[in-house]
Amino acid sequence: MQVVTPADAPSAHALETHIREAGFPCVGAKSALAKGNLSVVHARDITSAWNDLEIHRALVEWSDRYREERIESGLRSLAVVFDGPEDLSEERFEQALWDRIQSLSDKDTWRDQPRDPRVSSDPDDPHFSLSFGGEAYFVVGLHPRASRIARRFAFPTLVFNLHDQFEALREQGRYEKMRKTIIDRDIALAGSPNPMLARHGEASPAAQYSGRVVDEDWVCPFSDTRAA
């Protein structure tokens, strides 16, 4: 695991310990950590824009590295671990998550970064993904008060996963097996499957980002200004 800054941040190193726990269900994150493909950015406050420029810079550099190394990259993730707040409700965490995502997307536009043309910019589209540095991403949110145990972690965290690497898994016929393993492990942990998990192409993944259970009337509070 590479901690981008600062190297001694306890909140960042806590993520490694959390992923290594036997019950942690995401085998993709375990693989990324084991292969040294998990990079962690330490940030102050998920409700503040204090570190947004730094986070965006890390995402663009992560995209560049992926394009250079994708032949032998394996699964990789960039996680942003915030020191707090640790008492956010699921609704307030969801709001903070989308505030940070909107800010980061606006910075991508400001820096004239191209949008990944392989995915949709419409958060209502089943093929929606975010785009930073020309690469598509989806986000997994973790925080202390998540109702799903698999999304529960001591610090608010946003994990940015490259869309392209999961497309590669589908082409290799490995995606469904990994997905089933994660679901089975989640059921073993929580006693029931996550009701928000949808298959690719059936519903917008945006509703899954925060981990909160939402209904069909939920509206994603995000817009990509490059699509205007």
pTM above 0.85, yes or no: yes
Q: Check residue 88 and report its DSSP letter.
A: -
> Tokens for 151?
């999304």
CA angle 6, 7, 12 (to 5 degrees): 85
- The predicted pLDDT at position 201 comes to 55
| End-to-end Cα separation, the chain, in angstroms | 38
Phi, psi dihedral angles at 30 (to 5 degrees): -60, -40
Residue 187 to residue 190: CA distance in whole angstroms: 5
- The predicted pLDDT at position 173 comes to 75
Tens digits of pLDDT across the chain (228 residues): 454 445 557 777 899 899 999 888 888 888 888 888 899 999 999 999 999 999 999 999 999 999 888 655 678 899 999 999 999 999 999 999 999 999 999 999 999 999 999 999 999 999 999 999 999 999 999 999 999 999 999 999 999 999 988 776 677 776 678 778 777 887 887 788 777 665 545 788 999 999 999 988 999 999 998 875
- The predicted pLDDT at position 159 comes to 97
Residue 85 to residue 83: CA distance in whole angstroms: 7
Q: Distances from the Cα of 132 to the Cαs of 20, 35, 74, 173, 211, in angstroms?
A: 28, 23, 19, 27, 22
